[in-house]
Chain A
Amino acid sequence: MPVSAHTQVTELTEDAHACLTFGVQEDLLDLTAAFVRDGLASGFRVVVLSDSPQLAAAKLGWREVAAEAAVATGQMVMAASQDGLVGPQGFSAGQAMGWLRDQLTDSRRQGYAGIRVALDMSWALRPMTGIEELPVLEEEIAAAVSGAGMSVLCGYDRERFDPVTLALIAPFHSHAVAAATYYDDPVLRICRQYVPPGIRLAGEMDFLAAEALALALGEAIRIDGDITINMANLSFIDASSIRMIADAAASLDPSRTVILRCRPAIETRFEQLGADRLPQVSLVSVDEG
Chain B
Amino acid sequence: MKDNDRRPDPASPGDSAVLADTEADMADGTARLALDQAFDSGTLYALRAAVQAHAIQEGLPESRTDDLVIAVHELAANAVRHGAGAGRLRMWERDGALHCQVDDGGSPASGSQAGPGGNMADRWPFLQGHGLWLVRLVADQISVFSGLGGTRATVVFLPATGQDPSVSAPD
Say whether A associates with B.
Answer: yes
- Select the stretch in B19-27, B66-74, B87-95 that faces chain A: B66-74
Complex CA gap A269/B130 in Å reads 11
Q: Name B69's closest neighbour in chain A (CB-CB).
A: A236
Shortest distance between the CB of A233 and any CB in chain B (Å): 16
User: Do the beta carbons of B66 and A239 come within 8 Å of each other?
Assistant: no
Contact A187 B130 (CB under 8 A): no
Interfacial chain B residues near A246, Cβ < 8 Å: 129
A206 touches B170 (CB 8 A): no
A271 to B5: give the CA distance in the assembly, Å: 11
Tell me, yes or no, whether A58 is within 8 Å of chain B by CB. no
Inter-subunit contact A273/B44 (CB<8 Å): no
A240 interfacial by beta-carbon distance below 8 Å: yes
Interfacial chain A residues near B41, Cβ < 8 Å: 208
- Contact between chains at B133 and A208 (CB < 8 Å): no
| Contact between chains at B70 and A206 (CB < 8 Å) | no
Q: How many residues of B contact A (CB 8 A)?
A: 24
Q: Is the CB of B66 within 8 A of A265?
A: yes
Residues of B near A273 (CB, < 8 A) are 128-129, 133-134
Are B134's CB and A239's CB within 8 A? yes
A208 vs B44: C-alpha distance when bound (angstroms): 9
- CB pair B45–A187 under 8 Å, yes or no, is yes
The interface residues of chain B lying within 8 Å CB-to-CB of A207 are 77, 81
Report if A272-B134 is in contact (Cβ < 8 Å); known contacts: A208-B41, A236-B69, A239-B74: yes
Any A CB within 8 A of the CB of B9: no
**Interface of chain B, main secondary structure:** helix
Q: Which B residues, 10 to 36, have Cβ-Cβ distances below 8 Å to chain A?
A: none
A236 to B77, CA, bound (A): 14
For A265, list chain B residues within 8 Å (CB). 63, 66
| B45 contacts A238, C-beta separation under 8 Å | no
B77 contacts A272, C-beta separation under 8 Å: no
**How far, in whole Å, are A243 and B128 apart by their CA atoms in the complex?**
10
Q: Are B66 and A206 within 8 A (Cβ)?
A: no
Residues from 58 to 110 in B contacting A, C-beta threshold 8 Å:
63, 66, 69-70, 73-74, 77, 81
Q: Which residue of B lies closest to A264 (CB)?
A: B170
Residues in B lying within 8 Å of A, measured CB to CB: 1, 3-4, 41, 44-45, 48, 63, 66, 69-70, 73-74, 77, 81, 128-131, 133-134, 137-138, 170
Known: A204-B45, A272-B3, A272-B134. 10 other contacts (CB 8 A): A204-B48, A206-B73, A208-B41, A208-B44, A236-B48, A239-B70, A239-B129, A240-B131, A268-B3, A269-B134
Q: 19 A–B contact pairs at CB < 8 A? A: A187-B45, A207-B81, A208-B41, A236-B69, A236-B73, A238-B70, A238-B77, A238-B131, A239-B74, A239-B129, A239-B133, A239-B134, A240-B130, A268-B3, A271-B1, A272-B137, A272-B138, A273-B129, A275-B129
